[in-house]
Structures are given as structure tokens and as C-alpha cells.
């Protein structure tokens, strides 16, 4: 990395909850199988709840919430949301109330992440509407009721994909840069699963700020690639404004997103199942079937087709352990 993080990042309110830095590990047997050097950034080991990428976002989101005097956190997603589980763990840690608004109706049996969110003290509400966007209206309705009762709610959108949340992966970019320099590794690509787009937005902006030469390749598991590109660009631009760095977003390369949705959002793919088995047996990695396994499947496909660049590739393991224990799509 050519430069350090912008000074403004250190002035943004943040509650340090995650176990950082997360390891950057080589995967020699997986590399041999794919014919390309693979390293893994272990953000499944962030240590909040079951761990995962949402922990980095929640640090900044709860920092803003507590700085503003919030006494209850509202967030939402699907019945098996990793984000909701991690947010519930973070709020329990700092002593804030948590309300989770989930789309659809109560599932039977409950996914692991939902059971854990309840265990962690979250109050859970369902929209009775299978449209994921119903969560947004549900959050606003609950927030309005709480305000009328004299509470001070702070609303976190689905997946923590906000400009403030994206700062978690701007910071992570510089963490990764130090580790790459120490390991003597100069990757050509960083590959990750892209859902609500906040993680990739932070990585893309971070790479622009740091002068990183690698490409950030997102494998969408949730939305059409074109929608992801728009969301990533918008989130990165707003995050750059928070850091007084508008030029970084303006000069950022267009986000690169490929389609990894397969049979549908929240549904496992045959390629993902094969990738999860290869990652488990070749690198000891546990990938959830609907997010990280699909991203690994794309990495494998790119390697086998000879489309990866010549240099090393970093796979960002964004977590999702709940999905291996009966969890669902976030």
C-alpha cells in the first residue's frame, strides 16, 4: 500500500468489538488444485457472534448510534440473516436493546441465526410479506412507534449496507495491505461474495484510497450485477464524502461484479456445493452454501477457464457459519 488510511477515518465514531486483524492465510493445497496462488482473508473469524464481515460494519454503525444517544437498535433481513445475528450479539455486548424486522412469516423450524438472535436478546418481528423490501417499511414503522414512546432508535438497513457501514471495509483494506506487505504478496484480485454491496463498496473505495493495484471482484449472490454496480458506486461515493475524499470515489474504477446467483437468492447451487467441499478438504475452510460457497465456485470456474490474472488471488471469507447449521439467506 502506498499510503495510510485517511485521517478522517480515525475520527469517525467506532465501537471496537471485533477481533482484529483477522488472519491472512495461504492455501497451498487449494492453490495446487486450482493452478493459481490463493490466499484467504479470514473475516469469518471476527469474533462477534459467529463472526463474519458484518462485524466490521457494526463497529462503525454502533459507533454512530451511541454517539447520537440511541437506546435501541433496529435492523432487519431474512429469517436466517447473518447480519441480524451479529448485530444482536454486538448490541448485547454493549447493553443496547435490539429489534429485528424480518420479511415473511415465522419459519418452522427456525434457522440457526434466528435462534441465536433470540438467544442474544433481540425482539423479532415479521412483515408477513415475502418481498425483502418489506423490511424497509417495517423498520420505519417500528422506529416511528418507538419514537412516539420516547425511545431513541437507530435504524440499520439490511445487511448494514450504508455509507457508514462501508467504512468497515475501507479500514479493512489498509489492514489487508499491511498483511500483504509482510507476506511479500502482491495479489491481482480480491474475490468476495457480494450481497447488499456494502462490503465491496468499502473495498473498492479503500483500494482507491490506498493506491492498491489489485482488482476487487464481487460475485453477486443476491442482485443482478448491474444493480450491484450502481449500489456499490453510490455507497462508495457517500462513504468517500464522509472521509472528505470525493476524488477517490470519482477516480475509482467501475466495480467489477459477476453473476453467481445460480438457481436463486438463498438457494444452494451444485457448483457451490462442489466448491464448499473442495475448500473444506483442500484448505479446511467452512463455507456457507448460499454466499461464500457461490463466491468460491466462481473463483474455481475462473481459474479452470484460465480467466484469472497471473498473480495471486485473495479470497475474502465473509463468514456465514449460521448457514451451515440450518441458517438461511441473510
Of residues 58, 319, 23, the one with CA closest to residue 166: 58
**Could you tell me which residues come within 8 angstroms of residue 218 by beta carbon, excluding any fewer than 6 positions away?**
192, 193, 194, 197, 200, 228, 232, 255, 256, 257, 258
- For the chain, percent helix, then strand, then coil, each to nearest 5? 50, 15, 35
CA dihedral 313, 159, 256, 298 (to 10 degrees): 50
Catalytic positions, please? 81
CA dihedral 207, 212, 213, 217 (to 10 degrees): -30
Question: How far apart are the C-alpha atoms of 165 and 255, rounded to whole Å?
Answer: 18
CA–centroid distance for 100 within its chain: 18
SS3 205: helix
Of residues 138, 170, 158, 174, the one with CA closest to residue 238: 170
Q: What is the pairing mode between strands 97-102 and 123-126?
A: parallel
DSSP sequence for 305-318: TT-S-SS-EEEEE-
Amino acid at each position: 500500500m502506498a499510503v495510510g488510511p485517511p485521517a478522517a477515518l480515525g475520527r469517525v465514531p467506532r465501537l471496537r468489538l471485533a477481533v482484529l486483524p483477522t488472519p491472512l492465510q495461504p492455501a497451498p493445497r487449494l492453490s495446487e488444485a486450482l493452478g493459481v496462488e490463493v490466499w484467504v482473508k479470514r473475516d469469518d473469524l471476527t469474533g462477534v457472534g459467529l463472526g463474519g464481515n458484518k462485524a466490521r460494519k457494526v463497529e462503525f454503525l454502533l459507533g454512530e448510534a451511541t454517539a447520537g444517544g440511541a437506546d435501541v437498535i433496529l435492523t432487519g433481513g431474512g429469517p436466517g440473516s447473518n447480519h441480524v445475528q451479529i448485530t444482536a450479539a454486538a448490541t448485547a455486548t454493549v447493553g443496547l436493546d435490539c429489534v429485528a424486522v424480518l420479511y415473511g412469516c415465522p419459519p418452522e423450524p427456525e434457522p440457526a441465526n434466528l435462534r441465536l438472535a433470540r438467544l442474544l436478546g433481540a425482539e423479532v418481528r415479521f412483515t408477513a410479506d415475502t418481498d425483502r423490501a418489506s423490511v424497509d417499511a417495517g423498520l420505519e414503522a417500528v422506529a416511528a412507534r418507538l419514537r412516539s414512546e420516547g425511545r431513541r432508535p437507530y435504524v440499520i438497513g439490511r445487511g448494514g449496507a450504508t455509507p457508514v457501514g462501508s467504512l468497515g471495509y475501507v479500514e479493512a483494506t489498509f489492514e489487508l495491505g499491511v498483511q500483504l506487505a509482510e507476506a511479500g504478496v502482491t495479489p491481482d484480485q480480491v474475490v468476495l461474495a457480494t450481497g447488499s454491496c456494502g462490503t465491496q463498496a468499502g473495498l473498492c473505495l479503500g483500494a482507491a484510497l490506498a493506491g492498491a493495484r489489485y482488482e476487487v471482484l464481487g460475485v453477486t449472490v443476491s442482485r443482478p450485477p448491474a444493480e450491484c454496480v450502481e449500489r456499490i458506486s453510490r455507497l462508495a461515493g457517500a462513504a468517500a464524502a464522509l472521509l472528505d475524499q470525493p476524488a477517490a470515489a470519482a477516480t475509482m474504477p467501475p466495480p467489477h461484479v459477476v453473476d453467481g446467483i445460480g438457481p436463486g437468492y438463498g438457494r444452494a447451487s451444485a457448483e457451490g456445493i462442489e466448491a464448499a467441499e473442495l475448500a473444506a478438504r483442500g484448505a479446511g475452510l467452512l463455507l456457507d452454501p448460499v454466499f461464500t460457497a457461490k463466491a468460491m465456485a466462481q473463483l474455481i470456474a475462473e481459474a479452470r477457464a484460465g480467466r484469472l490474472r497471473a498473480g495471486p488471488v485473495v479470497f475474502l471469507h465473509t463468514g456465514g457459519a449460521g448457514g451451515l447449521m440450518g441458517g438461511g439467506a441473510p
